Amino acid sequence: MHPEASKKLEVRQAGEALSCTLQVAVQTPAHSALAGLLSYGAPAPLPPGTLVRVPLGTREVLGIVWDTPPPDAAAPAGTPELRPIAGVLADLAPLDAHWRALVAFAARYYQRGLGEVALAALPAQLRGLGPAQMARRLRRPGSPAPGVETTELIALSEEQESARAQIHSKTGPFLLFGSTGSGKTEVYLRCVQDLLHADPGAQALVMVPEINLTPQLQERFVARFGAGQVVALHSGMTNPQRLKSWLAAHSGQARIVLGTRMAVFASLPALGLIVVDEEHDASYKQQEGARYSARDLAVWRAHACGAKVVLGSATPSLESWHASRPPSADEPEGGRYQRLEMPSRIGAAGSGAAGSGAAGSGAAGSGAATLPRVRRVDMGQQPRRAVLSAPLVAEIAERVARGEQCLLLLNRRGYAPVLHCQDCDWKSDCPHCSAHQVFHKIDRSLRCHHCGYAARVPRACPACGSPDIAPMGRGTEQLEELLAELLQGTHRPDGGPVRIARIDADSTRAAGALQSQLAAVHAGEVDVLVGTQMIAKGHDFRRIGLVAAVQPDGALFSSDFRAPERLFALLMQAAGRAGRDAAWMAAQGRPCEMWVQTHHPTHPVYEALRRHDYAAFAADQLVERRQAAMPPFAFQALLRADARSQEVAQAFLAAAAQAAQRAGLPGTGHVQLYAPVPLVVQRVAGVERAQMLLESASRPALQHFLAAWQPLLHLLRAEPAHKGLVRWLVDVDPLAI
């Protein structure tokens, strides 16, 4: 950058000639006519990646210089004078070429505006800072980053050492397929440590699927590398906290960034390693705005900048599993990923460290831990309307009396999914959505989990006045209440009453609530833990001997072809919470167990779960996917329309399909467009929603089609016939259809 550029901008006189034209990415409304780069004038050239303040309409916004014409280039004669940039954040180093390439790819692949993706990837507080504010912000003293800690390390198992050696010696990408409790987090720690020892300036990015998994992971990394080198990036942080972490990563002060999906866009100029823990988790797919997959972008980013990437899971996504297939006669080179297997659990007695993901870590010689034995309870043989079988209640009581902890998984929060009038069949429907309001007994409210609408529970049926309204179905609140009744006569080893806790999105709303509740579980202050999927993954509970899944059958017959995959992963992850401390479990004298209450005990999902056989489950699923030409053997996208009526939404989608056929877009012969249909929950907050599925056996053909379709969709949206349309969007590689 020209050393006097910032000063020239500030003292520029009216009428002074602009000697340089800059292409700047700014955040514009999605699908607007200003979705591309905008041209601005400047008195001096600026390097690509420089952050600038530019006028946009009546506002002044943050922009990123994307590419710069030759220094002597000026605005063409006869064209309107370009508006000048208003200021340069000269004290901040430009965003590097690798970061800009990542943003450009994400915008192109996920069919969004370049400026929209680029500016959304920056901290919100940064977007409001001017040059003077940024200069003051950067003058604040930061914590110096000490060298890599040299703490005493535990011995790795043979499987851990083999995985670490292969990651060190090969290029990847790597799929680390390790059972729950196999010590994957320790492998991540060693790989990061190897990177930082080999290159003092290198940086690493470690991602987890959910915010609640970052604190315990951060504790382990800070204990290993020191607080000065580790920062977190996730949406649960305040704006100042996120800006501080982002600046530490951008400047190279932070060597390790831990975060959720948004961290994939962190500015890491010296990135050498990316770890995606629990890579199968659907939380890595953004569901608003630019609907990107952070896992897929991590793989692309690592390849583009020459870094290594490790995807870790006990239940990998079928896409990743297929991509890591071994060589065969038909495919001598196998898949694109290198599969590293760690099937054995590690007895983590004495390790004293809570892990992330399936991350029990410990010395190899501490005693091998076994995976929990899976027992299936046929609920068809139990009394009608029974929520918990008598054998399960007896088993919980016995384990609590011995000092063990139990975990009950019910992936539905609230007291009951719906209130129902038995006289007139009224149900607690949401007035704004095509969904029920969930009954929350704890505060006597009805809440819609889609639009947030809440109301008090009526004293009588609003339709017929009958007082006989009752809850239908079960939620975590009701399960907690039921357990308190059933275990009323059970006592802990010290003679005290059973202590039951519930962890779900409702019980953890207050700041710090989740951390305090998890701390209580780790401290042994909870005997029975009830919760949703929040507690089923990523937590290294040391004293849980029994895990039970209540009412998991709903996903077995879903119209979503990914439902069995998600259910199997959830149950495998939940089972992995049991028996993680082998020595402690051995002292109890009984093996750890996973109980599954089901009306379909012989279903293939439960058969594979009983054997802890992910490979067999994945093989069966991939055969079905191949026969049905579904991902990963086909590529999909959704065009979704939101409108004031379902007719308007579907009419827009039908018109879009007809326009594509008339235009003969590139790839049309290789892309199949299905008829428009309503979404499963077709109305949310008073807006009707419809979608149209696009499918192709060729990813490039689908991408070419979508790119050429965009201008037609913009034109179609402007036609009077579609004025009732609220919005439209494209979702590439959707996870829910």
**Listing from the earlier edge strand, what are the strands of the sheet with 373-378?**
373-378, 593-598, 544-549, 405-409, 528-531, 500-503
- Work out the average pLDDT over 134-142: 74
Query: How many other CB atoms sit within 10 Å of the CB of residue 329?
Result: 5
d(CA 278, CA 357): 6
Q: Which domains does the chain have, with CATH numbers?
A: 5-139 (3.40.1440.60), 158-342 (3.40.50.300), 370-413+475-626 (3.40.50.300), 418-472 (no CATH), 635-732 (3.30.70.360)
d(CA 447, CA 456): 9
- Work out the average pLDDT over 224-236: 92
d(CA 642, CA 727): 5
User: Would you say the pTM of this structure is higher than 0.85?
Assistant: yes
**Strand bridging mode 500-503 / 373-378:** unpaired
pLDDT digits (tens, 9 = 90+) for 362-381: 333 334 568 899 999 999 99
The pLDDT value recorded for residue 367 is 45
d(CA 668, CA 701): 8
The pLDDT value recorded for residue 71 is 45
**What does the DSSP 8-state code read for residue 538?**
S
The pLDDT value recorded for residue 143 is 54
DSSP state string for 52-87 = EEEEETTEEEEEEEEE---TT--PPTTSPPPPBP-E
474, 387 contact by CB (below 8 A): yes
The pLDDT value recorded for residue 1 is 41
d(CA 37, CA 573): 45
Amino acid at 40: Y
The pLDDT value recorded for residue 362 is 39
More confident site: 305 or 134: 305
DSSP state string for 141-190 = ----------PPPPPPPHHHHHHHHHHHHS---EEEEE-TTS-HHHHHHH
* Ramachandran class of 172: left when φ > 0, alpha when ψ lies in -120 to 50, beta otherwise: left
d(CA 518, CA 531): 12
d(CA 628, CA 634): 9
CA dihedral 409, 412, 413, 416 (to 10 degrees): -120
Residue 531 CB-density burial (10 A; 0-12 exposed, 13-18 middle, 19+ buried): buried
- Work out the average pLDDT over 474-480: 93
Instruction: Name the band, by pLDDT with cuts 50, 70 and 90, for residue 136.
Output: confident
- Work out the average pLDDT over 441-465: 93
End-to-end CA distance of the chain: 48
Nearest CA to 188 out of 404, 380, 359 is that of 359
Q: Say if residue 512's pLDDT is above 70.
A: yes
587, 445 contact by CB (below 8 A): no
Which residues are 22's β-sheet partners?
40
Beta-strand runs (E) in 499-656: 500-503, 528-531, 544-549, 593-598, 635-643
**Strand bridging mode 256-259 / 338-342:** unpaired
Q: Say if residue 466's pLDDT is above 90.
A: yes
- Work out the average pLDDT over 184-211: 94
Lowest mean pLDDT among 145-149, 518-522, 665-669: 145-149
Q: Say if residue 81's pLDDT is above 70.
A: yes
Question: Which contacts qualify for 511-519: CB closer than 8 Å, 24 or more apart?
Answer: 514/212, 515/215, 518/212, 518/216
Query: How many other CB atoms sit within 10 Å of the CB of residue 533?
Result: 18
Check the CA dihedral 620-624-626-631 and report its sign: negative
Q: Which residues of 269-278 are buried (b: 16+ CB within 10 A; e: fewer)?
A: bbbbbbbbbb
pLDDT digits (tens, 9 = 90+) for 6-24: 444 443 434 456 778 899 9
d(CA 52, CA 84): 11
273, 192 contact by CB (below 8 A): yes
Q: Say if residue 433's pLDDT is above 60.
A: yes
Q: What is the 3-state secondary structure (H, E, C) of 542-584?
A: CCEEEEEECCCHHHCCCCCCCHHHHHHHHHHHHHCCCCCCHHH
Q: Say if residue 506's pLDDT is above 70.
A: yes
Query: How many other CB atoms sit within 10 Å of the CB of residue 592?
Result: 24
Residue 548 CB-density burial (10 A; 0-12 exposed, 13-18 middle, 19+ buried): buried
Q: Say if residue 521's pLDDT is above 60.
A: yes
Q: Say if residue 351's pLDDT is above 60.
A: no
CA distances from 303 to 171, 257, 273 (A): 10, 19, 11
Nearest CA to 182 out of 313, 305, 85, 88 is that of 313
CA distances from 366 to 177, 363, 488, 587 (A): 22, 6, 37, 14
114, 35 contact by CB (below 8 A): yes
Residue 35 CB-density burial (10 A; 0-12 exposed, 13-18 middle, 19+ buried): middle
pLDDT digits (tens, 9 = 90+) for 280-323: 999 999 998 899 999 999 999 999 999 999 999 999 999 999 99
What is the residue-averaged pLDDT of the chain?
A: 88
Residue 723 CB-density burial (10 A; 0-12 exposed, 13-18 middle, 19+ buried): exposed
The pLDDT value recorded for residue 349 is 38
